[in-house]
């Protein structure tokens, strides 16, 4: 019985989390093909151009994820409904999207380069857009990293209040951004 439990833990929990983390982490070396380095004020106020760039990058990421996006979308819907996902749900999402993360990260890198947007600015814009949409800013990549370190992940689903400007900038893209908001769960 112990051998069976160990095998289940290895193939259902540990291996999917390791695969997810291996695919999620950006490459260690910086080359000419990487995203532009941060320039200017990464924490600058949100602009219409930032939102438009973000939408174009998010479209490329969503296309790269394909069908594996469905599981993340279901968990995200639960979070929006005020439910906190349990560790098993998080691990199932990691297992489902683990193999697609590499392709999504590659698509994100190419799109950020095309849009001349740094990864740091993209993350800051994502946080502001999530506030504008009124959705929590939960990142499963951080949760997976915590699990790998043997810590309980922080799955805080608190929504921060958006400014009137953030809401106004997000509004023209609300439907599309809401439909793809679950991609943010993956740190993308």
Confidence band (pLDDT; 50, 70, 90) for 29? very low
CA distance 92 to 16: 8
Is the pTM for the entire model greater than 0.75? no
CB-based contact 107:25 (threshold 8 Å): no
Q: Is the pLDDT score of 25 beyond 70?
A: no
Question: Residue 118: pLDDT band by 50, 70, 90 thresholds?
Answer: very high
What is the structure's pLDDT at 55? Answer: 96
- Mean pLDDT within 153-162: 66
Please determine, for residue 50, whether its predicted confidence score (pLDDT) is greater than 90: yes
Q: Which of 24-38, 127-141, 142-156 has the lowest mean pLDDT?
A: 24-38
CA distances (Å), 64 to each of 1, 12, 109, 134, 175, in order? Answer: 40, 24, 12, 26, 20
d(CA 158, CA 1): 40
Question: In Å, what is the CA distance from 175 to each residue of 18, 64, 172?
Answer: 34, 20, 8
Q: Cα 186 from chain centroid?
A: 3
At residue 19, the pLDDT reads: 61
C-alpha to C-alpha distance for 33 and 12, rounded to whole angstroms: 34
22: DSSP letter: H
Q: What DSSP string runs through 67-124? A: GGHHHHHHHHHHHHTTPPPPHHHHHHHHHHHHHHHHHHHHHHHHHHHHHT--HHHHHH
pLDDT at 111 over 90: yes
Can you give the pLDDT at residue 30? 43
The predicted structure's pLDDT at residue 27 = 43
The answer on pLDDT for 100 being more than 70 is yes
- State the average pLDDT over residues 99-116: 89
Averaged over 19-27, what is the pLDDT?
54
């Amino acid at each position: 019985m112990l051998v069976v439990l160990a095998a289940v833990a290895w193939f259902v929990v540990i291996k999917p989390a390791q695969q997810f983390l291996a695919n999620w982490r950006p490459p260690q070396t910086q080359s000419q093909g990487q995203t532009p380095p941060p320039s200017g004020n990464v924490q600058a106020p949100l602009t219409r151009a930032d939102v438009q760039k973000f939408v174009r990058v998010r479209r490329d990421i969503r296309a790269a994820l394909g069908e594996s996006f469905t599981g993340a979308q279901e968990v995200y819907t639960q979070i929006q409904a005020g439910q906190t996902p349990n560790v098993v749900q998080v691990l199932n999402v990691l297992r489902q999207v683990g193999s697609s993360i590499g392709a999504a990260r590659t698509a994100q890198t190419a799109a950020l380069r095309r849009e001349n947007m740094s990864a740091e600015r993209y993350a800051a814009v994502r946080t502001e857009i999530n506030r504008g949409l009124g959705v929590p800013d939960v990142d499963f990549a951080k949760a997976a990293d915590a699990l790998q370190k043997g810590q309980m992940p922080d799955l805080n689903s608190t929504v921060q209040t958006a400014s009137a400007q953030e809401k106004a900038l997000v509004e023209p893209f609300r439907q599309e951004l809401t439909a793809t908001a679950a991609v943010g769960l993956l740190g993308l």
